[in-house]
Amino acid sequence: MELFEKIKDSIIEMDEDKAGELVRKALADGIPPMDILGKGLVAGIEIVGERFKADELFLPEVMASAKAFKKGFELISPRLKETNYTPRARVLIGSVEGDIHDIGKNIVISLLQGNGYEVYDAGVDVSPSKFVELAQQLKPNILGMSALLTTTMAKMQDTVKSLEEAGLRGSIKVIVGGSCVSAEFAAQISADAYGENAGDAVGIVKNLTSI
Amino acid sequence: MIFNRLDILTPEELERIVDTSCSMLEQAGFRFEWDFALNLMREHGCKVDMDAQMVWIPRRLVMEALEKMHPLAAPQEYPKLFWAPWIGMKFIDHKTQQPRSGTLQDCKNIINVVNHLENVSVSSTGVVPQDVDNRLPDLYMAELLFKYSEKIFTTWTFTVDTCRDIVEMALAVTGGEKELKESAIINYLAEPVSPLKLSRHSLEIIKLYGEMNQAINMGSMVQVGTTGPATLAGSVALQLAEDLASLAYLYCLGSQSPVSLGGPMQVADLKNGNCLYAPPELPLIHLGIVACAHHLGYLSGCTSGLTETNYPDFQNGWDRGMSMILLWAAGSEALGMRGQIGAGQGFSLDELALENEMGGMMMKLSQGISVNDDTLALDIIESVGIGGSYSKLDHTNKHFGEYWKPELFSHEAFEEYWANYKHLALRAHEKVERILESYSLELQIPQDVADEIDRIRDRRIERLKG
């Protein structure tokens, strides 16, 4: 349908206003929200993802597309709840206790939201107990932790242990990232994945959740 | 002498940047995540919102701080080329050439090699050791530098507790508070979290070092495109604003610390959010911040001579040379950070040895051309006359020793080069091996002071166990 193509193009063209306008029209025309999502919004963001992976697009372009996606998604979201729609994985993410750096985390959030993942931003300086409290409340599929200081890396391990003690570790995949973190460290603390840079986030979450 | 011939910004443009930085501090404000600091700034006339942890700093206070604080000592107290090793998480094992986590032994080896590289003027441990408690690697790093560095050094301070310990170590080395305050033996890179935030631990550490009058390098790390605007002027202005906020705070503390303005600005790789280490934008922003510092009457440091490559190839040389020469020509007093490879993927001793070679050339450039009767050599030129030779003269014999001579770089003829071919990387590697085999670390401080340093370190370890 032409309207789906136009919605898809609005995502690829990073046009937030156009995405909103077209999704409103589609809803007004009675098009099922699941079709708007799958054939329009997701179709567009997947092409963006492929182009990003092929080094044809840069982060600011991907994030602009993600904003357009988010605009459209927010418009259909109330209608999706009326259906049996299950969102893509739910991700809880934060910078660990003692760390107030957040730029990498914020890029990851934008990328994940822009790919239809449900993301809860725990903020910065998040203690292990706070992560556990939020995990109990939100029941995420993924916990992402960021640390930029060597002295805060240990909090990642503390958080993993806290998840184990709370009986949550089995149901939550843990991804760690940040400039002082390494694949080696991630393995050491039994994290499920390590993100070398923010751009890796969507691929890693997809692999871990198969969603 | 240090040259200052390269100005990429006019005085009017510099004033505009300074004005923009001050406007940021007055209008956007700054987050200080410590009530003590907020109250201090309020006492000095700043508008403060305690709940939001925000302070708005009037330009009057910034100008007062600039006027009354002390610029970092001039070249007579620091080497002409402040040239310190980079510090990172990974070490490129010089035997296997593979990256791995840095260790305490790597730190010792790096200090040992730096002690014997004639053109590396400042020492550091090169890596953050990962085989120690990761709550206090900075304490181990400082311990090794106090004990074994034959040169002035730069280290990192990660926490308030280890800062107190490092200051205590410095007191032991210098002999007391009066001596420490006069020595500036340790220094701190005051690094806000861009944009426009100073964490509590940074504010506390600035206070601790400031109380002891230790050198503080105002060194924000704005990353163009992610934590700073994508436009270079905007990011330079933001960097300067963050430096000035730290300076204003230090001034309000009543500190006599000597300071420099500048910092390791970066450019984001907008493919993945990582830092780029050698795009042409990087020397441009450093030229900008150095120019701002000099315009305000302060010495400046920058990161230059970095590389994206993982091997000493053509790009490696170009990456390093391009930015190094530009920043040198602009008169940057400090040209850090040496020995890194692969856009900060690791510290390499072999690279450091190669950069030592570069350093020799840079030192030579820094000497400039000496103009006097002897060097103008009019009497020599007249005596040699038309079509004569200078090569056998006493004057030549007297002065040729001043020329830079290569140790690692090639000057061979074509046939000789290929007959005796040895890649530059291998020559550098052999130099590193020679140093490590020939020299051991020797204690640079009295044994009782070394014992006191050990006691301070062990006390912290015990406290962490508790």
The DSSP line for B260-285 is: EEE---EEE-TTTS-EESS-THHHHH
Question: Which of A59, A103, A153 is closest, CB to CB, to B271?
Answer: A59
Question: Which of B158, B227, B270 is closest, CB to CB, to A150?
Answer: B158
Residue A53 sits at the chain B interface (C-beta within 8 Å): no
What confidence tier does A144 reach under pLDDT thresholds 50, 70, 90?
A: very high
How far is residue B411's CA from residue B445's CA, in Å, rounded to a whole number? 41
Residue B106 in any domain: the answer is: yes
* B411 bridge partner residues: none
How far is residue B265's CA from residue B232's CA, in Å, rounded to a whole number? 11
Task: Output the DSSP codes for B329-386.
Answer: HTT-SEEE-BTEETTTTEE-HHHHHHHHHHHHHHHHHHH----SHHHHTHHHHHHH-T
How far is residue B189's CA from residue B242's CA, in Å, rounded to a whole number? 13
pLDDT at site B3: 58
pLDDT at site B1: 47
Tell me the domains of chain A and their CATH numbers. 2-81 (1.10.1240.10), 90-209 (3.40.50.280)
Q: Is the pLDDT of residue A67 over 80?
A: yes
Contact B274 A197 (CB under 8 A): yes
The number of domains in chain B is 1
Question: Which of B194, B223, B273 is closest, CB to CB, to A199?
Answer: B273
Residue B396 in any domain: the answer is: no
Neighbours of B464 (CB within 10 A): 11
Residue B179 belongs to a domain with what CATH number? 3.20.20.480
In whole angstroms, how large is the CA radius of gyration of chain A? 18
Residue A129 sits at the chain B interface (C-beta within 8 Å): no
Angle between helices A103-113 and A59-80 (to 10 degrees): 50
ipTM over cut 0.95? no
Determine whether B5 is exposed, middle or buried from the number of CB atoms within 10 Å of its CB (0-12, 13-18, 19+): exposed
How far is residue B134's CA from residue A154's CA, in Å, rounded to a whole number? 7
Going residue by residue through chain B (466 aa), what tens digit of pLDDT does each one get? 455 678 899 999 999 999 999 999 999 999 999 999 999 999 999 999 999 999 999 999 999 999 999 888 654 444 455 677 788 888 999 888 888 989 999 999 999 999 999 989 889 999 999 999 988 999 999 999 999 999 989 888 999 999 999 999 999 999 999 999 998 799 999 999 999 999 999 999 999 999 999 999 998 899 999 999 999 999 999 999 999 999 999 999 999 999 999 989 999 998 888 889 999 999 999 999 999 999 999 988 788 889 999 888 999 999 999 998 898 888 887 787 889 988 888 899 999 999 999 988 888 887 888 899 999 999 999 999 999 899 989 999 999 888 888 899 988 899 999 998 999 999 999 999 999 999 999 999 999 999 999 999 999 999 998 7
Q: Are B96 and A115 in contact (CB under 8 A)?
A: no
What confidence tier does A31 reach under pLDDT thresholds 50, 70, 90?
A: very high
**Mean per-residue pLDDT, A142-163:** 92
Contact A149 B158 (CB under 8 A): yes
Look at phi and psi of residue B213 and say left if phi exceeds 0, alpha if psi is from -120 to 50, else beta: left
Residue B402 in any domain: the answer is: no
Buried b / exposed e over A140-157, threshold 16 CB at 10 Å, is bbbbbbbbbbbbbbbbbb
Q: Give the distance from residue A71's alpha carbon to the nearest chain B alpha carbon, in angstroms.
A: 22
Residue A151 sits at the chain B interface (C-beta within 8 Å): yes
3-class DSSP state for residue B123?
A: strand
| The two structure tokens encoding residue A41 | 């919004």
How far is residue B154's CA from residue B78's CA, in Å, rounded to a whole number? 12
Angle between helices A128-138 and A150-165 (to 10 degrees): 40
How far is residue B310's CA from residue A207's CA, in Å, rounded to a whole number? 29
Q: Which B positions 147-186 lie with beta carbon below 8 A of chain A? A: 158-159
More confident residue, A164 or B330: A164
Contact A198 B273 (CB under 8 A): yes
Q: How many CB pairs under 8 A join A and B?
A: 52
Residue B296 in any domain: the answer is: yes
| The two structure tokens encoding residue B163 | 């800062």
The residue type at B423: H
pLDDT at site B77: 44
**Mean per-residue pLDDT, A6-25:** 96
> Which one of A48, A103, A189 makes the best mutation probe of the B interface by having the most chain B beta carbons within 10 Å?
A103
Question: Which of B90, B193, B223 is closest, CB to CB, to A100?
Answer: B193
The whole-angstrom distance between residue A54's C-alpha and the CA centroid of its chain comes to: 20
Among candidates B239, B255, B163, B248, which has minimal Cα distance to B204? Answer: B163
What confidence tier does A84 reach under pLDDT thresholds 50, 70, 90?
A: confident
Residue B371 in any domain: the answer is: no
List of residues 6+ apart from A60 with CB closer than 8 A: B225, B230, B270
Among candidates B410, B128, B55, which has minimal Cα distance to A181? Answer: B128
Contact B225 A184 (CB under 8 A): no
pLDDT at site B206: 97
Residue A153: half-sphere exposure toward Cβ, Cα within 13 Å: 26
> Which one of B101, B139, B205, B270 makes the best mutation probe of the A interface by having the most chain A beta carbons within 10 Å?
B270
Contact A150 B223 (CB under 8 A): no
Residue B394 in any domain: the answer is: no
Q: Which A positions 160-199 lie with beta carbon below 8 A of chain B? A: 180, 182, 184, 197-199
pLDDT at site B167: 97
Contact A103 B101 (CB under 8 A): no
Q: Give the distance from residue B99's alpha carbon to the nearest chain A alpha carbon, in angstroms.
A: 11
Q: Are B157 and B201 in contact (CB under 8 A)?
A: no
Residue B388 in any domain: the answer is: no
pLDDT at site B76: 42
Q: Give the distance from residue B326's alpha carbon to the nearest chain A alpha carbon, in angstroms.
A: 28
Q: Are A112 and A119 in contact (CB under 8 A)?
A: yes
Q: Are B364 and B112 in contact (CB under 8 A)?
A: no
Residue A186: half-sphere exposure toward Cβ, Cα within 13 Å: 21
Q: What is the pTM of this model?
A: 0.91
Residue B170 in any domain: the answer is: yes
Question: Which of A60, A104, A151 is closest, CB to CB, to B158?
Answer: A151
Residue B89 sits at the chain A interface (C-beta within 8 Å): yes
Q: Give the distance from residue B251's alpha carbon to the nearest chain A alpha carbon, in angstroms.
A: 25
Please give the DSSP secondary-structure letter assigned to residue A37: I
Please give the DSSP secondary-structure letter assigned to residue A170: G
* B82 bridge partner residues: B334
In whole angstroms, how large is the CA radius of gyration of chain B? 24
> Which one of B89, B220, B340 makes the best mutation probe of the A interface by having the most chain A beta carbons within 10 Å?
B89
Question: Which of B128, B159, B273 is closest, CB to CB, to A107?
Answer: B273
Cis status, amide bond into B337, omega within 30 of 0: yes
Q: Is the pLDDT of residue A11 over 80?
A: yes
Tens digits of residue pLDDT in A190-202: 999 999 888 889 8
Residue A154 sits at the chain B interface (C-beta within 8 Å): yes
Residues of B in contact with A103 (CB under 8 A): 194, 223, 226-227, 273
Residues of A in contact with B222 (CB under 8 A): none
Q: Which domain holds residue B21?
A: 11-366
Residues of A in contact with B195 (CB under 8 A): none
